[in-house]
Amino acid sequence: MIIREIQQFGEVRPRARAYLCYLFTRNMPNLLPEPNIDIVIAGLDKIAHEVDDFEALYLLNHKGEQIIDNISKDREKVGGIGQNRSAKSYYYRAVREKRCVLSDPYPSTLTNDLTVTASFPIYDDQHILKFIACIDVSLEHILKIAHPSSLQSKFGKTSQVIYSIFSLSLLAIAMLLLFNGMRSLFMHGFAFNLLDIEAMFQSTILITLSLAIFDLVKTIFEEEVLGRNERDENSSIHKTMVRFLGSIIIALAIEALMLVFKYAIIDSAHILNAVYLIGGVTLLLFGLAFYLRAISQKREL
């Protein structure tokens, strides 16, 4: 997913920049009396042999014009000489900051996929800008380069599939509960133009549990599959926990109320069971209140 990849790039960006800038620093001449373009091209060739997955390497002059064809392992990506790239962020940021920079992800003109560009300014001994060396790497490959291991990327994709299966399974359960709740409501709750209180309570419980599970499915799918994490990840987790527990408490409270009415009318000897259930609901409410207070105090700190 594109959103997840961009978020991962934000996490590994310092490592990615450090790696690519190290390659430039080690292979590019700098602060020489008169930087030779042949020496610079030879340095680009060395980088091309060190980096397996890259789209193109190229060289700009001090005005931002490309002065050599792209160096690429894909013949279709060779070319580009004469193009003016002075409006690109990787050009003017490198000129302004006077150091190696790594751009934000942007759609590549070569592949139409998200790409990042590392650019390295080359100066002469008088600190006059002569060239800007650039390397384009796809967002997918930069994540593989910057990750501690490729297994994490594979595991992440496997986790997405597993979470998707769990989400679909829970969604099916939520829809089944909703269907049975609605069926119980319309088939039994209003039978023979009479209001069946017990059927109404049962329908309410099923629909409330369906809502709680659906809310959980929504959170799991958005955060683990789509990667749409909120800025405050802990806040998102707490919000989901409160909503889920709140729905469960409501369902249990309705069940307890239903049992009170049922035993009061049919068998008052078992009404103590309903009282126990009410006591359990009360304890859950106290627990939820304590949880909310603890979270509030933690944020204040």
Q: Which pLDDT score is estimated for 128?
A: 94
**For the chain, percent of residues with pLDDT exceeding 90:** 36
User: If DSSP states are collapsed to H, E and C, what string results for 82-115?
Assistant: CCECCCCHHHHHHHHHCCCEECCCEECCCCCCEE
CB 148 within 8 A of CB 180: no
Q: Which pLDDT score is estimated for 34?
A: 84
What is the distance between the alpha carbons of residues 165 and 159, in angstroms, rounded to a whole number?
10
What is the distance between the alpha carbons of residues 89 and 134, in angstroms, rounded to a whole number?
12
Residue 215: pLDDT band with limits 50, 70, 90: confident
**Location of each CATH 3.30.450.20 domain in the chain:** 2-146
pLDDT tens for 27-71 read 998 888 888 899 999 999 999 998 888 999 999 999 999 999 999
Q: Which amino acid is at 184?
A: S
CB 132 within 8 A of CB 84: no
Query: Which is more confidently placed, 285 or 120?
Result: 120
What is the distance between the alpha carbons of residues 40 and 26, in angstroms, rounded to a whole number?
12
Q: Which pLDDT score is estimated for 150?
A: 45
Residue 253: pLDDT band with limits 50, 70, 90: confident
Q: What number of CA atoms fall less than 13 Å from residue 55's CA on the CB side?
A: 24
Q: Which pLDDT score is estimated for 229?
A: 54
Query: Which is more confidently placed, 36 or 269?
Result: 36
Residue 191: pLDDT band with limits 50, 70, 90: low
CATH dotted code for 2-146: 3.30.450.20
What is the distance between the alpha carbons of residues 298 and 169, in angstroms, rounded to a whole number?
35
Q: Is the pLDDT of residue 217 over 60?
A: yes
Average pLDDT over residues 272-276: 81
CB 205 within 8 A of CB 162: no
What is the distance between the alpha carbons of residues 58 and 97, in angstroms, rounded to a whole number?
20
What is the distance between the alpha carbons of residues 126 and 34, in angstroms, rounded to a whole number?
9
- One DSSP character per residue, 150-175 reads HHHHHHHHHHHHHHHHHHHHHHHHHH
